[in-house]
Structure 1
């Protein structure tokens, strides 16, 4: 449900302009594959726009900036290195920039408190998190971020309920306070937070058994013949994170949401949404149901018409040649009706 992370602002004691810090951090984070990086990247793009406007208005050098306003959008980046789980470092316009965990960005700096709360005294809200920035080996700023739901998440969930999806759950590794805030915004009641990947895996595997419907006698007969029940609950997992890959693979239906790039999640899922739009989840269900309905109509309708034609031919009600042409016509009608599944009625 999460639309990403929004960087709300920068706090810190530095001679550098706030937008210059955001721009430097945003440019550096474009090299990161971490899911939180996109929020900082977007904040950096906003900083570029604001700096460009300010240079245009002032027509002169800005305090706290070494750009002259002519090439703000193309800073020089060198020596980028990402330490998994810690942060990112690199040279941006001649400055050594580090972005990441507090211990990572302050490594090697003397006289810095061990607790970031002793430096940045404004407490974080329940749905906020922070990443830190150092410039040339000196702690410079704290970038405050918060989880934000996708813009159309609530509408998409409402449409899923309208399609008959009975239970919607949020499985996340985020803190419970943050997860509950997001869940309340989008209308999810079942929230399971602070989960490890193996916890998500167990939750998905147990989901079908938790609210299993009563199995009718005829379905038990079908299950004995085919080995599979047609009335059991189906569990669908929708995810976009690297840690979601094993969970997507274990679900009855795994659906990965990506921006068009290949990820571990997309490689493990049966369905991949390539435009990073959660509204495609209910749309995919509607398309699959409509396709199945048209398929059954084509098969049953074609067989019924063929049986009627064969009976007419058997009782000599129609000539043999006419029966042959009639069979071909029935096949064409069935095929054409099947092709109506390609018409987008959503």
Structure 2
């Protein structure tokens, strides 16, 4: 069956083999004219089909390398090298088969992610009992709140909260981490994780389309469909290589007076190394990045990553750990500390900002119940407004709160701390102070980027300048832009030089600036923001070190792609020069060229492996920034 599938996938290969056998058999039996007629007819059909494809490409504005293959086939037919013309067709068809094999080999990590996409969910019929009676449903049909049974070694179909006391999961397909992770009741379990040895229950918190794994699958499909850099790289070499090949072939004909030399040279100039090497290398880079826990949306992004000259970072949740803890509650006159925290936490239920999580967590730890809001809205990067118990509560930046409550008083905060200001019914109600430590790896990442051709590193944040400066100086960033609104971030990213510019953010409030940068990387490990459409790449693990991995993979992949192309070109030119002396017959030349194809493919597969970044996190960087903690 596998052989039959292979035949169906590559019909031109086996059809050419059959024609070649027939032509050789008839020629050996003395039917030379019939043999030649079959070869001419068959190769002419292939030439016509190729020309149709070339015309379509030209109409789309793409001038490819197929002209060399067509000229080589026409030349061999013109000088009577019918067998050589069939071998050229066979080598071109075989090149496509080699490219397909190498491509599948290169993107195996991406394909593995798609193949493991969860399809079935076991929905408990009686979720509030001990009964394990289930009704199987498509993963897409699971609703938020459904209780699911996850059997041993099964893939979690949707994001959920663990209801069982404890469980272990293999999250390697999500994070690249090979060791199982342990979860306790109440912890979030991401779709795509593989359950351990015991059946467990989870409650769905997102539908399939919004869950982590499905978003990763969407990114992978987009990455697989993007082949733009392959075209661009081939185009850069197409015209020069074609011109050099035709000059060498023409010179060989002119100097020898033998038109057969023209054909003998051109059979060694078939463009497979250029057409195959680049896509294989880029697919290998995409696959390697996926294995490392970074989903890159396409080969074009890899090419940009390799050339990054400036890098900009958001602060909260990017350079910092993104888990701020409440360290002080400072109520204004007329407000109680617990009341202030209760109102703020209730409003922050409707915010996606990382500081909101710290405020909600602090309320829960103090046993303060959150109250529902009659209505709520959030202004990205500024704050959230909610009507709670008939009172309008505003939580956000000091300038934003002051625009509603003119009596707002700014509070002096220590380095490394952040403040959320609160207004109630148009009156200043107080300040909540939180501390968020820098990531242990942040300083090492900034240092690594500077050591690898990134000339400028900056911070773009909406937080207060004092807090921003404290974190920035700790991680080694001197260029600081604080208290920015979203449009200001976009403007600064667009004006930043030198280019290309890399922007790293948490993928929630940073969507506009991620889209404005040449390459936007979203920290997508904490929830359903992984598919941030604005980002060009998504980090699946909660580690800033993956930024260095992404840039390193981009640089290595581009080096491999170019090296494979140059190896193919160099070998082809040397062989063409040798063939111009007449020592390589046309048939032998076509077979030798297939060896060149194989060599470039094997080299391009080096993109699947590469040097480690060598990133070292100094022990000193693990110290806390905020004296308040």
What is the TM-score normalised by the length of structure 1? Answer: 0.63
How far did residue 23 of structure 1 move?
11
Identify if the C-alpha distance between structure 1 residues 29 and 325 changes in structure 2 by more than 3 Å, giving closer, same or farther: same
Q: Give the 3-state SS of the residue equivalent to 1:298 in structure 2.
A: helix
1:341 corresponds in structure 2 to: 607
- In the other structure, the counterpart of 2:469 is 180
- d(CA) in 1 for partners of 2:370 and 2:433? 25
Asked if 1:261 is matched to 2:261, the reply is no
Compared CA separation, residues 194 and 10, structure 1 to 2 (3 A) = closer
Structure 2: 5+ residue runs without aligned partners? 1-314, 399-406, 613-629
Q: Is the 8 A contact 2:347 2:373 kept in 1?
A: no
Corresponding residue for 2:355?
36
User: What is the CA-CA distance between 1:327 and the residue it aligns to?
Assistant: 1.1
Q: CA deviation at 1:328?
A: 0.9
Tell me, in whole angstroms, the C-alpha distance in 2 between the residues paired with 1:152 and 1:40: 25
For residues 273-324 of structure 1, the C-alpha deviation after alignment (integer angstroms, 9 at most, x for no partner) is: 2334321222211111110100011111012112222333332324444322
User: Residues 154-193 of structure 1 correspond to what in structure 2 (within 5 A)?
Assistant: 154-193=443-482
CA contact (8 A) 1:246 1:268 kept: yes
Q: Tell me how far 1:255 sits from its aligned partner.
A: 2.5
- Counterpart mapping for 1:72-221 below 5 A: 82-84=376-378, 85-87=383-385, 100=395, 124-125=413-414, 127-130=417-420, 143-208=432-497
Residues 31 and 80 in structure 1, CA contact (< 8 A), matched pair in contact too: no
Q: Structure 1 residue 9 and structure 2 residue 276: aligned?
A: no
Structure 2 partner of 1:279: 545
Instruction: Answer whether contact 1:133 1:142 (CA < 8 A) is retained.
Output: no
1:341 and 1:23 map into 2 onto residues whose CA distance is: 53
Q: Secondary structure at the match of 1:168?
A: strand
**Contact 1:242–1:263 (Cα < 8 Å) also in 2:** no
CA distance in 1, matches of 2:451, 2:601: 31
Given that 2:343 and 2:388 are in contact with CA atoms closer than 8 Å, whether structure 1 keeps it comes out as: no
Give how far 1:256 is off: 2.5
Cross-structure match for 1:327: 593
Aligned residue number for residue 308 of structure 1? 574
Distance 2:556 2:461 in 1: 32
Higher Rg: 2
Q: Retained in 1: the 8 A contact 2:344–2:395?
A: no
Matches within 5 A, 1:283-298: 283-298=549-564
- Contact 1:245–1:269 (CA under 8 A) maintained in structure 2: yes
CA distance in 1: counterparts of 2:546 and 2:359, whole angstroms: 26
CA change 1:86–1:321 in 2 (3 A) is closer
Aligned equivalents of 1:272 and 1:297: distance in 2?
28
- Following superposition of structure 1 onto structure 2, how do residues 53-64 of structure 1 map, counting pairs within 5 Å? none
Greater CA drift, 320-329 or 165-174: 320-329
Structure with higher helix content: 2
Q: Distance in 2 between the 1:270 and 1:239 partners? A: 11
SS at match of 2:533: helix
Residue 194 of structure 1: how far off its partner (Å): 1.8
Determine the C-alpha separation between the residues in 2 that align with 1:12 and 1:251: 38
SS in structure 2 at match of 1:287: helix
Mapped to 2, the partners of 1:198 and 1:115 lie a distance apart of 25
CA contact 1:7–1:143 (8 Å) conserved in 2: no
Deviations 1:119-174, CA, capped at 9 Å, x for gaps = xxx9643533146699xxxxx99743124322311111011111121111112222
Structure 1 SS opposite 2:569:
helix
Partners of 1:255 and 1:89 in 2: how far apart?
A: 35
- What SS does structure 1 have at the residue aligned with 2:354? coil
**1:315 match: secondary structure:** coil
With over 3 angstroms needed to count, the CA separation of the structure-2 counterparts of 1:206 and 1:78, relative to structure 1, is closer
What is the root-mean-square deviation in Å for CA atoms of aligned residues? 4.5
Pick the aligned partner of 1:239 from 491, 495, 505. Answer: 505
CA displacement at 1:332 relative to structure 2:
1.0
Q: How has the CA–CA distance of structure 1 residues 79 and 128 changed in structure 2, closer, same or farther, with 3 Å as cutoff?
A: closer
TM-fit CA distance, 1:204: 2.0
Bigger RCO (CA 8 Å, 6+ sep): 2
- Aligned to 2:520, the other structure's residue is in SS state strand
Q: 1:274 to 1:184 in 2, by over 3 A?
A: same
